[in-house]
Structure 1
Amino acid sequence: MRDLTATMTGFARTLRAAGVAADHERTQNLLRAAGHLDVTDRDAVYWAGRLTLCSGPDDLPRYDRCFAAYFGGERPRAGRTAPPVVTVTRHTVSLDAAGPREAGDDEALPATASRTEVLRQRDVARMTPAELAEVQRLLSILRMRRESRRSRRFAPAHRGRLDARRTIRETLRRGGETSRLRRRRHRVRPRRVVLLVDVSGSMAPYADTLLRFAHVLVRCEPRATEVFSVGTRLTRVTAELRHRDAGTAMREVSAAIPDWSGGTRLGEELKEFIDRGSGARGAIVVIASDGWERGDPSLLGRQMARLSRLAHRVIWVNPHKGQEGYQPLTGGMRAALPYVGAFVAGHSLAAFEELAERLSHA
């Protein structure tokens, strides 16, 4: 029962990251339903989750994609006859691909889901290439919601303040007769996110995954997202990340960044970023770095103070924070933390899901 709860809770978290409103109450309904089902029956689990976790027709395509990615295989189809019950004799899962496959392995739902849950928690720096490819595939289906902000521009509306200009123009077109009062309200737009990714040597095991996360951000809101790489110089890579295919985007980014696996001058790069007006004002600024500063930490502290006054919120992502017993002892992290609104890990798929959730409520 403990494994079943962890599996279903992890599936609900995946749905929330994809934009489905699978809240705590809906998750509890799924757990109660699963207690009366044969969890090895793939169709039963699919329909139980669909009926309890989805709130409307718009959620169904996302649910199907997440179900296929989380449990493996294609979406089950409703049939006229009930599918045969499959008895699963395998109760444990191994992350190694070795070993013969037995009949019925494709239907081993708890084992497959447990493997995905293990991958969600693992450090990407310690994964095999096959595991890393699976995590990147799961990362690519994230549909991240963005916090909204009120724009200065107005749009026509049924309710709101009086739009005198439109009302007068319509009155003149009707020969001076006022038929109705026109109204307007402020437009609502997604809040901008600026992501600064450290590509220095100490961040090499995590930089690729962080940039793939940035690719998902750009794909979701291309007009409200900016991405820069920081190391020994500041490089804008937003245009390269707008490619639809993640592999093509990463090749373009790799060619555009001249300082891969170099040193780190966060203070100087952050000063350049602010001085040239790169869009920090009113935005959510995400800095992904381990804080190993080659320059003067006091310069980084001063620039972080400037950034905290300009940005709507500053989020610092440090992959090492996910390690047990981590303490921010580096000079760069100690100088930056007083001006950080949120300090989160960035070492696993679960950490990226948490970051996506923070961006939707920042």
Structure 2
Amino acid sequence: MPVSVNEKAAEVPERLTVGFISLLRSLGLQVPIGSAIVFQQALGKVGIGKRESVYWAGRSTLITDPEDLPVYEYGFRVFWEGITDALEERIPSYQRVALVTDDGIGTEEELSEASNEGRDVINLRYSPSEVLWEKDFGLYTSEELNEAYELMKRMTLLGGIRQSRRKISSKKKSQYPDLRRTIKSSLRTDGEPIRQRFLEVGERQRRVVFLLDVSGSMEAYSRALLRFVQAAVVGRRQVEAFTLGTRLTRITRELSSRNLDQAVSASSNAVQDWSGGTQLGETLRSFNIEWGQRGVARGATVIILSDGWDRGDASVMSEQMHRLKKVSYKIIWVNPLKASPGYEPLAQGMAAALPYIDQFVEGHSLNSLEDLAYVLSE
């Protein structure tokens, strides 16, 4: 008989802990008794009504080695979201969690199947969009990528405001007299300037420049982040986009098509080093030479989307980040690996870049990109 979230509330954390820990161990993850106890206590505190709370309760208490994260991610999807594949027979049979989405898809089938097998089912209600917002990009299906793109298009990337050289009419007194408007208004009073007009410094959107790492180490994330960059290019003025790998490639024009498939295809054809090696320092040198001092980077907010792996000389990376820092307004580094438990920026390129970064943010999920949008608005 199905068990609702509200029923047997005192027993739920213990039962879920036993089932989930058993699954993780069957998948090869080493979970000490102490960690399991802390996880159960965490569930008792945060509850099981919100996917995000359950996910992070487990991730923060059960994972100590970043290399174990893929196993945890898979185990979480299998146990908590009802997503199974060839490893289904390894799931403990005495306890399953049925994911009930807000649209109700699959609910009756899941509950009926569990009931026929004589198993209790704990019925969780996570909306499909909530699951998608929290899910790691590296685990996305093609269909989920398309769904995420629609959500990315709704994000507002402000990028800040900068003063322009152009002056505009002002209703207030300023240090810039507007002779043309003053003379024009005086014609109504027989040439007598009754009211003096003024100008003020105009404002415009600050340019945003994306530098997307497309090397092999970023393969799991670059396809989702490319869609995010494309959404920014078509949704906002003053946006430039480049890829970094073993060479620098400008893809602003390719991404300007509002048809996502066309934009992705054109970018793929233009970029010759997809999933190749990593020469971040050298490609940043190319960017600084071609687009830095007198180009699009001057006064711009530069967003580097990369895990920081660099096979080149660390001194080159440091030097080029220093040059970029001098001409840009702000540098934001988006690293998908930053969300991993125990992460430290020890990769050669990442360590060399840190002193020149204004903001260091995650980039593994829709939620993290929404945080990036917030940082841009500051």
Q: Which structure has the larger Rg?
A: 2
For structure 1, which runs of at least 5 residues remain unmatched after alignment? 10-90
Is the Cα contact below 8 Å between 2:100 and 2:106 reproduced in 1? no
The residue matched to 1:204 in structure 2 has which SS?
helix
Superposed, which structure 2 residues align to 1:92-111 within 5 Å?
93=99, 100=106, 102=108, 111=125
Shift of 1:210: 1.1
> In structure 2, what is the Cα distance between the partners aligned to 1:165 and 1:250?
51
Superposed, which structure 2 residues align to 1:288-327 within 5 Å?
288-327=305-344
Matched, 1:134 2:147: yes
The residue matched to 1:130 in structure 2 has which SS?
helix
- Residues 203/180 of structure 1: CA separation in 2 closer, same or farther (3 Å cut): same
Letter in 1 for 2:311: R
- Residues 100/273 of structure 1: CA separation in 2 closer, same or farther (3 Å cut): closer
> In structure 1, what is the Cα distance between the partners aligned to 2:225 and 2:357?
19
Q: Corresponding residue for 2:253?
A: 239
Task: Normalising by structure 1, report the TM-score.
Answer: 0.68
Q: Corresponding residue for 1:84?
A: none
Q: 2:161 aligns with which of 129, 148, 151?
A: 148
Matched, 1:158 2:171: yes
Letter in 2 for 1:145: L
> In structure 1, what is the Cα distance between the partners aligned to 2:302 and 2:359?
11
> In structure 2, what is the Cα distance between the partners aligned to 1:164 and 1:272?
44
Identical-pair percentage: 40
Shift of 1:168: 5.1
Superposed, which structure 2 residues align to 1:52-91 within 5 Å?
none
Q: 1:343 aligns with which of 340, 348, 360?
A: 360
Letter in 2 for 1:346: G
Q: 2:288 aligns with which of 274, 282, 286?
A: 274
> In structure 2, what is the Cα distance between the partners aligned to 1:98 and 1:258?
44
Matched, 1:257 2:310: no
- Residues 356/305 of structure 1: CA separation in 2 closer, same or farther (3 Å cut): same
Give the count of matched residue pairs.
272
Is the Cα contact below 8 Å between 2:149 and 2:231 reproduced in 1? no
> In structure 2, what is the Cα distance between the partners aligned to 1:3 and 1:163?
64
Q: Corresponding residue for 1:210?
A: 225
Q: Corresponding residue for 1:352?
A: 369
Letter in 1 for 2:200: R
Is the Cα contact below 8 Å between 1:167 and 1:180 reproduced in 2? no
For structure 2, which runs of at least 5 residues remain unmatched after alignment? 1-5, 7-45, 54-96, 112-123
Q: Corresponding residue for 1:191?
A: 206
Q: 2:130 aligns with which of 104, 111, 117?
A: 117
Letter in 1 for 2:330: R
Shift of 1:167: 4.2
Shift of 1:184: 1.4
> In structure 2, what is the Cα distance between the partners aligned to 1:340 and 1:250?
29
> In structure 2, what is the Cα distance between the partners aligned to 1:218 and 1:118?
26
- Residues 216/99 of structure 1: CA separation in 2 closer, same or farther (3 Å cut): closer
Shift of 1:119: 2.1
> In structure 2, what is the Cα distance between the partners aligned to 1:202 and 1:121?
22
- Residues 93/5 of structure 1: CA separation in 2 closer, same or farther (3 Å cut): closer
- Residues 357/6 of structure 1: CA separation in 2 closer, same or farther (3 Å cut): farther
Q: 1:229 aligns with which of 233, 236, 243?
A: 243
Shift of 1:249: 1.4
> In structure 1, what is the Cα distance between the partners aligned to 2:104 and 2:270?
39
Is the Cα contact below 8 Å between 2:243 and 2:271 reproduced in 1? yes
The residue matched to 1:166 in structure 2 has which SS?
helix
- Residues 160/125 of structure 1: CA separation in 2 closer, same or farther (3 Å cut): farther
> In structure 2, what is the Cα distance between the partners aligned to 1:148 and 1:4?
42
Task: Normalising by structure 2, report the TM-score.
Answer: 0.65
Is the Cα contact below 8 Å between 1:289 and 1:317 reproduced in 2? yes
Residues 6-55 of structure 1 deviation map (CA, whole Å, 9 limit, x = unaligned): 5999xxxxxxxxxxxxxxxxxxxxxxxxxxxxxxxxxxxxxxxxxxxxxx
- Residues 283/133 of structure 1: CA separation in 2 closer, same or farther (3 Å cut): same
> In structure 1, what is the Cα distance between the partners aligned to 2:156 and 2:182?
43
The residue matched to 2:157 in structure 1 has which SS?
coil
